[in-house]
Amino acid sequence: MFFEDFDENFNTLIAKSADLTNKPFLHSVVKISGEYEKDNEDIDLTVNILCRDNDGKRLDIYDLELELFRSNSELVLVISKLNISSEPILWSGVKTIWMNSNNGKKCSPPKDSSRLENLATRIKNFIS
């Protein structure tokens, strides 16, 4: 990729992607675990995407957990709502699948599914 300070700029790209897909809110990214080796494109990373309103007030109901990893050389993103464990989880790999967060089985998408699917697509486009 094209960054000097890769980690900081990568987090900024994720946050700006969330800003665009979850308007009018602002987002920040906190790395939880893992690494992204830009030289060999190896990725296994978990971050939290934290949400605030325009006045800086935290809106934890919109916080997300994002896992990024490669499976069989394909990039996979798993997005879940950080503070609402009962909401479906998005698995965005070669196919997009919504999973029940309690049993991992395929389920119907939630009402805001397009917002999270758009976020996954934006992030994938930055990495690919």
Residue 9, pLDDT score = 81
Q: Are 78 and 89 in contact (CB under 8 A)?
A: yes
Measure the CA–CA gap between 119 and 100, rounded to whole angstroms: 19
**The CA-based dihedral angle spanning residues 106, 111, 112, 116, taken in that order and rounded to the nearest 10 degrees:** 10
Q: Which residues pair with 50 in a beta bridge?
A: 28
Query: What is the model's pLDDT at position 1?
Result: 38
Q: What pTM does this model have?
A: 0.88
d(CA 8, CA 6): 6
**Residue in the structure block whose two tokens are 């119907």:** 108
Tens of pLDDT, residue by residue over 15-71, are 999 999 999 999 999 999 887 766 556 788 999 999 999 999 999 999 999 999 988
pLDDT tens-digit map of 64-108: 999 999 888 889 999 999 999 899 999 999 999 999 999 989 999
